[in-house]
Structure 1
Amino acid sequence: MSFTVNTNEVVELIERLVNIPSPSGNTEKVIQFIEKYCDELHIQSKRNRKGGLVITLDGEDNSKHRMLTAHVDTLGAMVKEIKKNGRLKLTMIGGFRWNSVEGEYCQIETSEGNSITGTILMQQASVHVYKDAGTAERDEKNIEVRIDERVMNDEDVKSLGISVGDFVSFAPRFERTASGFIKSRHLDDKASVAILLNLMKEIKENDVKLPYTTHFLISNNEEIGYGGNSNISPETVEYLAVDMGAIGLGQTTTEYCVSICAKDSSGPYNLRLKNKLVNLAKEHRLNYEIDIYPYYGSDASAAIRSGNDIVHGLIGPGIAESHSHERTHESSLENTSKLIYYYMLSEMV
């Protein structure tokens, strides 16, 4: 049993997904995109009340189910204050550091649905004016948005329809290199969403028979902690979160492998499922690493905290510089896709 990944299709899906703004709390447009993708493949999907999407592929055994999840919501911000000088103060959505978005282009979406561009900068950005341009704290007091409109004061800004609570998204700056790297914001977790969508297409178009009914939860609140903690059918036995593998000092994960998580900040993942994933990776000669993510929580850990009686696991492509200027490689997408494919065709633990 061999499986060939259409990496070009996965990367093209990533590019389309990251270019749809979807900070946590404002994911309607990207969910609509995925709904249309499923409709064109004649795959059943339904919204949950939180705005996420549950996609189902029937299996030969309907008495026991699997669920795989990936989240389509991203980091972002909201307008916290309209300053007297026409600049905007921000409040974070998700866990990032202000220095990681300094100098980034952004988009403000008004409550009327209009989009206005801007740039995220330090108030003390000009070295010709501010002596502390390099040393001033990168925080919510000093970071601001410079709007790309002729505004001189707060009333000018309000006349554009901008108000407190409007969502602000960060430009993804997607790029695919000749050497196989994919650079973009929001690879966490749109790389995983693209992998799952591509696998659904492969299964549907090639009439692959899954041993168990399998649900795919495209969650939309993971970055704020509760995306995948509901809509889990009582028949669900195994729950596998597909999310980025963290890379850094002390980590084994690379941009070229599939990362299998043994433990994160929520505690250990199910040992039987972790061992099963490792054995599948070995059997199919995949490039994999086992890792511990010290400052991390997934939809699977959120599901466990919500009291679901499930076997939970976590895998994903290796993503460098998470919650900043992220990067992965085609080979990581391939290894992750293959492990998920072989997992879905395997017997339960």
Structure 2
Amino acid sequence: MAPRPEPMGASEAIDPDYLRQRLLDMLAIPSPTGFTNELSRYVCRELAALGVDYQLTRRGTIIAHIPGEDRAVTRAAVNHIDTIGAVVSELKPNGRLGLMPVGTWSSRFAEGGRVSVFARNRVYRGQVLPLLASGHAFNERIDTLPVAWNQIEVRLNEPCRTKADLVDLGLRSGDFVAFDADPEISDSGYISSRHLDNKAGASALLAALKAIGESGRRPAIDFQAIFTITEEVGTGAGSSLSSEVVEFVGIDIGPVAPGQNARETGVTLCAQDTSGPFDYHMLRKLRRLCREHDIAHQIDVFRYYYSDANSAVKAGHDVRDALITFGTDATHGYERTHLSSLSSIAELLFVYAFSQPIGLPRPYSAAPVPVVS
């Protein structure tokens, strides 16, 4: 019998260059909810290159699968690849486009954005501007505009002065509008960009899958990596889990702001979000794994937040759920995190894959509960 490979340390297992390049590749691919086909194809190609089997659901969720030592049960690491964006809501008489958001985000962060508008036969480029955009024409009136989606419009880089001009270009209501990510990575390791939510998480998950494959070991139980495509509109993983899945770890963005404990470095474990607390035993286990493997971490509670984990539980799946996040400043705006946080996410997923599952709850005992005075 061949000797079992020596376990590799979490930090040594993760390839940071691979993670970084996957992130930049995905940030260059537009993927607002409902328009994720190209990014899905990219992820599928990458899984194939890693030698990881996968399947596509009818709606397009990707379910990758690595067989474990124990085939009876499965754990899932779940990450969404759809992003916020917009659709054309109106062809305006002035030759510009009205917008309706895809996902929940403020028009404040849309102003000034460079965009691609996906018409029937071609892609048009443009910018998002307030209705009153020229200080030389409107002076202080510019500062009186409220923050609202009906106060902004898209100016195309085309000769459009009327609604008829837009129609002639093949534009129509419902066309998808994707905002440029415009990523920038500093020498100090910070990355600022739109759409880190949740392409950053996807890059960490792919890096973890690469490390698992290169380790020469099988996960403790069957391991699924699920890439969902509708998290930003609230559905996400609701229909993607099989009955064999007993543990669910969501991967997503963690808000860094006053009153929050999330950080742009390390893993931020979420104890509770708007839907309520996550599984107590899963939180303890993930925290223990972080301590045992020297993975920087902190715990936080998110006040205005939902994720794929919520959609799975709401859909009726009987799973122990957890949420691990990369702390990010200015979520759903020009977001910023640190590459070390993404490596920490990948490290935790790597060691988690080889850990034993949490057992079933103990049977009820009629023994009296001690009273603490």
Q: Which TM-score applies when normalising by structure 1?
A: 0.98
Whether 1:286 and 2:295 are equivalent positions in the alignment is yes
What's 1:47 paired with?
A: 56
- Aligned pair 1:327/2:336, yes or no? yes
Q: 1-side partners of 2:312 and 2:120: how far apart?
A: 32
How do residues 169-248 of structure 1 correspond to structure 2 at under 5 angstroms? 169-248=178-257
4+ runs deviating over 4 angstroms: none
Residue pairs, 1:136-147, within 5 angstroms: 136-147=145-156
Given the alignment of the two structures, is residue 346 of structure 1 paired with residue 355 of structure 2, yes or no?
yes
The answer to whether the 8 Å contact 1:253/1:291 transfers is yes
Percent sequence identity over aligned pairs: 33
Amino acid at match of 1:164: S
Unaligned runs of 5+ in 1: none
1-structure distance, mates of 2:193, 2:339: 13
What does residue 24 of structure 1 align with?
33
Distance 1:42 1:276 in 2: 29
Residue 203 of structure 1: CA displacement?
A: 1.7
1:168-201 CA deviation, whole Å, 9 max, x = no partner? Answer: 0100001111111111111111001011111112
For residue 34 of structure 1, give the secondary structure of its aligned residue in structure 2.
helix
- How far the C-alpha of 1:221 sits from its partner, in A, is 0.2
Matched residue of 1:239: which SS? Answer: strand
Give yes or no for the alignment of 1:129 onto 2:137: yes
Aligned with residue 123 of structure 2, among 115, 123, 140? 115
Cα distance in 2, alignment partners of residues 140 and 325 from structure 1: 18
CA RMSD after TM alignment: 1.0
Look up the equivalent residue of 2:130 and give its one-letter code.
M
| Secondary structure at the counterpart of residue 205 of structure 1 | helix
Q: Is the 8 A contact 1:107 1:170 kept in 2?
A: yes
**Structure 1 Cα separation of the partners of residues 19 and 144 of structure 2:** 41
Retained in 2: the 8 A contact 1:103–1:120?
A: yes
2:33–2:82 contact (8 Å) kept in structure 1:
yes
Q: Which residue of 2 aligns with 1:38?
A: 47
Distance in 2, Cα, partners of 1:326 & 1:90: 22
Q: Deviation of residue 282 (structure 1)?
A: 1.2
Counterpart residue number, 1:102: 111
* Separation (CA, whole Å) in 1 of partners of 2:29 and 2:217: 30
Map of 1:12 onto structure 2: 21
In 2, Cα distance between equivalents of 1:311 and 1:291: 18
Stretch moving more, 5-14 or 21-30:
5-14
Whose Rg is larger? 2
Q: Say which of 57, 63, 79 aligns to 1:70.
A: 79
| Count of aligned pairs | 348
Higher mean displacement: 68-77 or 33-42: 33-42
- How far the C-alpha of 1:29 sits from its partner, in A, is 0.2
Contact preservation (8 Å) 2:89, 2:97: yes
Q: Distance in 1 between matches of 2:35 and 2:223?
A: 27
Cα shift readout 1:80-99 (whole Å, capped 9, x = no counterpart): 00001100000000111101
- Determine the structure 2 residue equivalent to 1:258: 267
Letter in 1 for 2:135: V
Shift of 1:165: 0.2
SS class of match (2:141): coil
Q: Indicate which of 305, 320, 325 corresponds to 1:316.
A: 325
Shift of 1:214: 0.8
> Residues 122 and 138 of structure 1 are in contact (CA less than 8 Å); yes or no, is this contact kept in structure 2?
no
Quick one: distance in 2 between partners of 1:106 and 1:283?
45
SS in 2 for 1:244: strand
Range 196-205 or range 222-231, more displaced: 196-205
Check whether the contact 2:86–2:102 (CA below 8 A) recurs between aligned residues. yes
1-structure distance, mates of 2:295, 2:210: 22
* Helix, strand or coil at the partner of 2:161: coil
Separation in 1 of the partners of 2:21 and 2:187? 15
SS of alignment partner, residue 25 of structure 1: coil
C-alpha contact (below 8 Å) 2:326/2:341 kept by paired residues = yes
Alignment TM-score, normalising by the size of structure 2: 0.91
Q: Which moved more, 1:177-186 or 1:4-13?
A: 4-13
Shift of 1:207: 2.3
AA aligned to 1:30 is L
